[in-house]
Amino acid sequence: MANTGNALHTRKGRAVASLFHKTRDKFNLSNICKVAGAILLVMFASKMAQATGTDLLASQNTTVNSTFGSGSSLIKWFYIAEIIIAIFTYIKVRSPMVFLGLIVVIIFTRIGFAIAS
């Protein structure tokens, strides 16, 4: 039984358990079988679509390593930019925790460039 409430027009009398009951009815066996069949179809289709070929960008590995690898100028500019941003942030907030954040950002940058190269 639903009664209209005050000026906000809220409905009263709806239990939370009835919401869960409706979602439980939606997950019956036929829906689960349909979803499982669709997943199996996608997996089978992706297995059939795998093709072999040549890597067209394999010749660019040395270029990527020299651009993003250790000792490249891009890493040097990233570090300089991180330090400048940390100094401006320290001037703004006056908290030494900014420099701890700088160390964390430099470590993540180093890890990211190691993964890229």
Q: What is the pLDDT of residues 49-62, one digit of tens each?
A: 666 678 788 888 88
Ordered by start, the domain boundaries in the chain are: 3-48, 61-116
What is the C-alpha separation between 92 and 94, in angstroms, rounded? 6
Percent of the chain with pLDDT over 90: 25
Contacts of 111 (CB under 8 A, 6+ apart): none
What is the C-alpha separation between 100 and 110, in angstroms, rounded? 16
CB 101 within 8 A of CB 82: no
Per-block mean pLDDT, blocks of 10 residues, the chain (117 long): 56 56 61 79 72 78 82 87 94 92 91 80
| Predicted local confidence at residue 73, as pLDDT | 85
What is the C-alpha separation between 81 and 88, in angstroms, rounded? 11
| Predicted local confidence at residue 55, as pLDDT | 79
